[in-house]
Amino acid sequence: MAIKNVLRIGDPALNMPSSPVTEDDYKKIHTIVEDMFDTMKHLDGVGLAAPQIGILKRLVIFGFDSNPRYPDAIAVPETILINPLIEPLDSSTDTDWEGCLSIPGMRGLVERPNRIRYSGTDQHGNKIDREVDGFHARVVQHECDHLDGILYVERITDMKSFGFIEELEQSQQYNPAPCDSR
Ligand code: NI
């Protein structure tokens, strides 16, 4: 078990695009994936992208059965997604609160496509191809943004809907649905 240090906003690695996972990389993937799950679970997260632990490869993990801090969130299957592709299925969007392990203690309101199709492979090279919506779709989009060096704060359209969790909790409108987590 290895809990890795999660890079925080301001670290230039979080702004860099990641490169595709190659055939050679698959040999090393097992350890990286284990470390990522250890790190994500240690921090009560629901998703993590490889660049967040300093590995600039197109690899994300996400999923949870239940999260004690977000009892209303619908379970998302535990997934290892490599070289992902995302396409919106229609023009519907959804606006909800996001957080990120790289921006601890904060939340912001982000509008994203509500229904998406995503594809890629798992750590064994098996094809993944799913159509999802809601929170599941949001988590996948948030994590895959990391692979393009994009943090959710760049997608906030009204900066009044961004702040520290403790302060936001005093606001009537705040109804958290996390992405990575704290
Ligand atoms: Ni994140």
Domains of the chain in start order, with CATH, are: 12-170 (3.90.45.10)
Using the Cα atoms of residue 159, residue 67, residue 50 and residue 4 in order, give the sign of their dihedral.
positive
β-pair partners for 98: 108
- What's the mean pLDDT in 91-100? 95
Ligand 1 centre from 106 Cα, in Å? 11
**Ligand 1 centroid vs 104 CA: distance in angstroms?**
10
Positive/negative CA dihedral, 82, 88, 89, 94: positive
Closest among 137, 7, 24, 5 to 81, alpha carbons compared? 137
Whole-number pLDDT of residue 171: 77
How close is the Cα of 45 to the center of ligand 1, in Å?
9
pTM of the model: 0.93
Active site residue 98: no
Decide if pLDDT at 174 tops 90: no
pLDDT at 95 over 90: yes
The catalytically annotated residue of 23, 98, 131, 143 is: 143
Hey, is 8 helix, strand or coil? coil
- Mean pLDDT value of segment 100-106: 96
What's the gap in Å between 101 CA and the centre of ligand 1? Answer: 6
Q: What pLDDT, on the 0 to 100 scale, is given for residue 72?
A: 72
Through-space distance between the first and last CA atoms of the chain, rounded to whole angstroms: 21
